[in-house]
Structure 1
């Protein structure tokens, strides 16, 4: 699949709020979404040779490569409207620092937001892959 896809923990309120954030700030409504627990995600990752899916990790398929953690988040910024796209300056920070900050947030993600399920509009719903 050559479409960009965000893979997220469907049981995580913080992750669902992140999906809602992206939906509301995208430039071109081209990103698709899939919960890591979905059959689509399991099949997709299996085809890529990924053995075990880490539910605490945010993944982004850019159409060619599967990215994770802070790199995935920075790649998503390319698809957001100004001023959110300015977050791309995060590339200036070394990956080990970016991923360290990512890990701190990922460990606390269940406490950062209450359970939340994004209800997509009918136009958005077609971009959710299950």
Structure 2
């Protein structure tokens, strides 16, 4: 992952969550963020969008396989369980309490994350295409 100053289309203070736009679990996570991120700290981009593809390339990640959620923050890409913990740390209580997951060693957290990520379509399903956004949701996404 890169540490260059600013990814394409992302402001210096933006926190961007990249997620699989056809995964039902990932879409549920995006909707959860929209519902609970009252301060609008996080912006969203599906990995299938042109902006998402550019950000994956910036991170040095594959643009054709989506095995992890990515949080881009302060010029760095955070992935897997670290991304989740950084995100919940930016949410209001009680969700912020999820950061206690840091007491679990990263290899164990990431092993569990990987098991869910690899089986997410089978466990939760997938959409045929990315969901259509409501006007409120659209304001939460990066412009393409």
TM-score bin (small chain): 0.7 to 0.9
Contiguous gaps of at least 5 residues in structure 2? 1-9
Aligned residue pairs total 129
Report what 1:41 is aligned to: 52
Shift of 1:113: 2.4
Shift of 1:51: 4.7
Report what 1:56 is aligned to: 67
Report what 2:5 is aligned to: none
Q: Give deviations 1:57-100, integer Å, cap 9, x for gaps.
A: 11011232100000000000122121110000011111000001
Shift of 1:107: 1.7
Report what 1:19 is aligned to: 30
Report what 2:136 is aligned to: 123
Q: Please give the alpha-carbon distance, in whole angstroms, between the structure 2 residues aligned to 1:11 and 1:73.
A: 19
User: Does structure 2 conserve the Cα–Cα contact (< 8 Å) formed by 1:6 and 1:58?
Assistant: yes
Contiguous gaps of at least 5 residues in structure 1? none
User: Does structure 2 conserve the Cα–Cα contact (< 8 Å) formed by 1:70 and 1:98?
Assistant: yes
> What are the within-5 Å matches in structure 2 for residues 1-130 of structure 1?
1=10, 2=12, 3-48=14-59, 50-53=60-63, 54-115=65-126, 120-129=133-142, 130=144
Residues 94 and 107 (structure 1), Cα distance of their counterparts in 2 relative to 1, 3 Å cut: same
More relative contact order, 1 or 2 (CA 8 Å, 6+ apart): 1
Moved over 6 A (4+): none
TM-score, structure 1 as length reference = 0.87
Residues 61 and 51 (structure 1), Cα distance of their counterparts in 2 relative to 1, 3 Å cut: closer
